[in-house]
Chain A
Amino acid sequence: MSLLEIRNLSVEFQTVMGSFRAVDGVDLSLKETDLLSIVGESGSGKSVSMLALMGLLPWTANVTADKLKFAGRDLLTISNRERRKIIGKDISMIFQEPMSSLNPCFTVGFQIGETLQQHLGMDRKARKKRCIELLDLVGIPAPEERLKAFPHQLSGGMSQRVMIAMAIACNPKLLIADEPSTALDVTIQAQIIDLLVDLQNEKGMALVLITHDMGVVAETAKQVIVMYAGQQVEQQEVDALFAKPRHPYTHALLNALPERSLHLDRLPTIEGVVPGAGDRPTGCLFSPRCEFSQDDCNQNVPSLQHTDIGAFRCFHPIEYTGHGE
């Protein structure tokens, strides 16, 4: 049963310099218990697309899609009231900066309790019990005392666990994690990512992990979507993606990883920079920087082609012979 269906999601912002397309034609399908990772560098639109799904973008954003369905509900035509019943309860999200995502004026217990009260209508006693359960579930020691703690008294790792507790409080069907471990120390990062994967298994929910850390993707995800300059350029299963990336951007990105060039004097780089608002190339957005680009690449815009191994947006995807390239 398909949990999330997105077809041709686009987001445009009104800015000083005119209209800017932050997300351009994203297709996504998720079933329950899927673990998808959306990967990309700054400006790729990975966060914006999920914020658009949640309805969390500012008023300057214009969200359009052919299809945006969650658990059978059409999120495009839904009223704000109905949407508020779903967001936070069936779909929830955790963010990158745990220290600034929690309200500094209220205790941890209050903030988790807020979600419970709003969506599940629990009374005070039930809320307290459930909060303690949740804090225990996310691995916070001495949960009864932590309920009274304020966010500034918690470390980065603890704050992120509290965020996760808030997010899973109502047993959501889909959890979106936007760079959940980037701002944390490396040993805490590992703990948080492990926690998310464990919770996903236990609760049977779908997890979308947005990150720019390829190592995390390789170790955790099952499906991967690669984004570049707002467009979805590749989608494959994780092992296939790392072994045989089809899109030249994915290929170049993997080559630029420090660990893949240990035997080289210099790191391979991708020449040029990501196109900004003012300098979008004609044709394929990656073509100016692509080592495999050909003449037709900067004339026409490639569309996203779906095949049985995945999807890619390229006129000349990399081919692999039987023994690999």
Chain B
Amino acid sequence: MSFAIEGRDLKRYYDVKGEGFFAKPVTLKAVDGASFALESGKTLAIVGESGCGKSTLARLATMIEKPTAGNIFISGDDPHANGGADIPRLRQDVQIIFQNPYGSLNPRKKVGTILEEPVVINRKVSAAERRQLAETMLAKVGLRPEHYDRYPHMFSGGQRQRIAIARALMLKPKVLIADEPVSALDISIQAQVLNILMDLQEEMDLALVFISHDLSVVRRIADQIMVMYLGKVVEQGEAKTIFDNPSHPYTQALLGATPAVDPKLRRERVKLTGELPSPLNPPPGCAFHNRCRFARAECSVTAPPLEMKFGRLVACHFAEVTVKA
């Protein structure tokens, strides 16, 4: 069975100038070995905090950047083979929506123009047909035909996100990357936008890659989860398995830190000491060891491999399944 989008051992390194005038360049390992495989109609949630590499992964998935190592496959094709000749074609299969509804729409263009742009670039259809497509898509996301002639600043955050979703789906892509799409929205608007995403996913059989740091939202919509920390994948597997019994200490900390209204959903608060290390200077061995409550001597020496334990992939020398109280 072919996957809608697949990543095999993806790595993306950047060369960054070191501190000081004569310092050598330092390698920033933004993504250091991420693999995933997503079928149509399913949702993969990529979870992590700043500097974990999730946004870089989004850039790799949308083919804006080329991986330093590893491969990405869109419906079985590698866009970077053949010197990138297939990229324009495969671009139509992967689209993206962003976190900030106020920056992701061109302020100087009408909504209609914004929606039609992908079609103008990639398809040869008449202006009337384009308009028809745009208006159909507007209706699908719950907006009205008269909104076609308005400018983005006349809309609220939630409405702009809908416009962004409509734009992303104009070319009927197979994969939709959603980079924190609801983090900047109010709760009631979040619910509306999430419903639209889920409905459209079902209607168009989309593979949805949902990047977020908000675990309460992720729990609601994800089929699979990938937890990242400083460029590495620390836990990966079925969402239900991981939410019920997180085995990596970082996943446990994330879940514990997520505030929940229902006391039954609250987990023990794991106090993480220290700050996130700089991605330019990650700790030796396991990247998480200096903040981990289970750390032992081995953890600062060898980086733990990502292995199947307890029904999910986890990168920890001492992964244990914590039983829910």
Q: Which residues of A contact B (CB under 8 A)?
A: 41-42, 141, 155-158, 185-191, 193-194, 212-219, 242, 252-254, 256-262, 266-270, 273
Contacts and interface: CB of A to CB of B under 8 A. Distances in A.
B158 interface: yes
Contacts of B254: 186-187
Contact of A259 (B157, B220, B274): B220
Contacts of B257: 186-187, 189-190
B194 interface: yes
Interface size class of B (residues with CB under 8 A): 35 or more
Nearest to B186: A41
Contact of A218 (B156, B198, B213, B261): B261
A185 B50 contact: yes
Given A41-B186, A258-B219, A259-B265, A155 B276 contact: yes
Given A256-B188, A257-B216, A267-B191, A190 B260 contact: no
Interface of B: 49-50, 156-158, 186-192, 194-195, 198-199, 213-217, 219-220, 253-254, 256-263, 265-266, 269, 271-272, 274-276
A187 B291 CA distance: 11
Nearest to A289: B188
B205 to A, nearest CB: 17
Contact of B216 (A193, A212, A242, A258): A258
A204 to B, nearest CB: 24
Contacts of A261: 220
A260 B262 contact: yes
Contacts of B274: 141
Given A185-B50, A190-B269, A256-B190, 7 more contacts: A186-B49, A187-B253, A190-B257, A194-B271, A216-B259, A254-B261, A257-B216
13 contacts: A155-B275, A188-B49, A189-B257, A190-B269, A214-B187, A216-B259, A217-B261, A218-B261, A257-B187, A260-B262, A267-B194, A270-B191, A273-B158
A213 B187 CA distance: 8
Contacts of A155: 275-276
Nearest to B266: A219
Interface centre among A191, A269, A273 (most CB of B within 10 A): A269
A10 B60 CA distance: 50
Contacts of A242: 261
B191 A268 contact: yes
A42 B157 contact: yes
- Which 8 residue pairs spanning A and B have beta carbons closest together? A215-B259, A41-B186, A185-B49, A190-B257, A267-B191, A258-B220, A256-B191, A218-B261
Nearest to B263: A218
A214 B50 CA distance: 23
A186 B218 CA distance: 13
Contacts of A191: 271-272
Contacts of B259: 189-190, 193, 213, 215-216, 218-219
B194 A215 contact: no
B187 A212 contact: yes
B188 A252 contact: yes
A259 B156 contact: no
Nearest to B182: A258
A186 B220 contact: no
A102 B220 CA distance: 37
